[in-house]
Amino acid sequence: MDFSPVSLCCSFLVVLLSCFAAISKPVVASEDCEFPAIFNFGDSNSDTGGFPAAFFQPPLPYGQTFFHRQSGRYTDGRVMIDFIANNVGLPFLSAYLDSVGSNFSHGVNFATAAATATLPGFIYPGGGFSPFYLSIQLDQFSQFKNRSQIARGRGGVYEELMPEEEYFEEGLYTIDIGHNDLAEGLYSNMSVQQVNATVPDIIRNISAHVKGLYNLGGRSFWIHNTDPMGCLPYLLVSFPDVAAQSDSIGCAKLFNQISQHFNSKLKEAVIQLRKELPSAAITYVDVYSVKYELLSHPDKYGFEHPLVACCGYGGKYNYSNAGICGETINVNGTDIFIGACDRPSVRAIWDGIHYTEAANKFVFDRISSGAFTDPPVSLKMACHREDSR
């Protein structure tokens, strides 16, 4: 075989380029994402002031741990989206509905407490659910994207308070919703089978939301599944017969089965979305497993009384429909203020419905590493599509 200098040079070049190609792809994929903004959608698990701006602020002791004041959050301190923003080097998100002191230069929070993925049957103040359900949140985002750029064009403070145009494609889109849809079914006296039958419609709405955001420029999605709802005092107290059918840690098995069914269908939908939206990086985040682990082994992680509300009044779970956290109720002629426990930092459940800041941080620390995500990717790598990692 003839090995001329030219052929040897060409062969060496081919090998060199092949080696470079082999090593360059992982190097690119291993780079942290630089998200310039976050656009969040959801319910009270990630509301940072939306519902309070539209209706009323949750009173102290909500906000006492970190902000030391009312903060528009439904916990004692920070919610999950606060930890997400901090992790990627961004400030806390202002609520879209909050017209006082908001700064949207690095993202917007469209989440509101009591929000659903589907149109709720009863809307506050005539019922228990937010009028700002997921389709409305998408409409709000669409308007914001257009109007924010018009505002930026005016210069000055308007330019400083609005995101740059490219942030809509480069930003992280976070979604945490679905729990209230399931709860609405339960409070409508549906059976477990009937609630499960509503799941496909809920998932379709979430999928449509992701597609809508994608069509508006979104490319990086971080989607939380729902929590073990059978472990929350407000449901355990409201449905004692179901609560009596408990698992080894005291959670209602049937309600957790609803959560598990929802989560399995959500994961299937995410897999399908990856096929339909090939330019998107979509991460499914299993908060259910982390929360259930915390509630199952509280001592292991420095927590105590896992199913008992820190801020509440009465009964086995320190929760009662007679009054909620921050209210003053009259018991046998005596006014009683429903305040917080002495050490929220070692409690998982805040008010019978939501988790404490300590629990939120516990969950965030585990999901952000990629140990509980599909694909297994850390938050800072969530801009990379699965086929490019």
Quickly count: other Cβ atoms within 10 Å of residue 5's Cβ: 7
Concerning whether 209 is annotated as a catalytic residue, the answer is no
CA dihedral for 368, 370, 372, 373, sign (positive or negative): positive
User: Residue 233 is encoded by which pair of tokens?
Assistant: 């005092």
Catalytic residue selected from 130, 354, 368, 384: 354
* Burial (CB count within 10 angstroms: exposed 0-12, middle 13-18, buried 19+), residue 333: exposed
Query: DSSP letters of 310-378?
Result: SS--STTTT-BTTB-TT-EEEETTEEEE----S-GGG-SBSSSSSB-HHHHHHHHHHHTTTTTEES---
Phi-psi region of 113 (alpha: psi -120 to 50; beta: other; left: phi over 0): beta
CA–CA gap between residue 327 and residue 319 (Å, rounded): 12
The length of the chain in residues reads 389
CA–CA gap between residue 311 and residue 61 (Å, rounded): 8
Concerning whether 384 is annotated as a catalytic residue, the answer is no
* Burial (CB count within 10 angstroms: exposed 0-12, middle 13-18, buried 19+), residue 240: exposed
Catalytic residue selected from 44, 71, 148, 320: 44
Concerning whether 259 is annotated as a catalytic residue, the answer is no
Quickly count: other Cβ atoms within 10 Å of residue 23's Cβ: 9
Nearest residue to 220 via CA among 88, 93, 89, 27: 88
Catalytic residue selected from 76, 82, 181, 351: 351
Phi, psi of 25 (to 5 degrees): -60, -50
CA–CA gap between residue 86 and residue 78 (Å, rounded): 11
Q: Is 39 helix (H, G, I), strand (E, B) or coil?
A: strand
Strands 334-337 and 107-109: unpaired
User: CB-based contacts of 80: which residues, under 8 Å, 6+ apart?
Assistant: 45, 46, 176, 224, 287, 360, 363, 364
Q: Which residues are catalytic?
A: 44, 351, 354
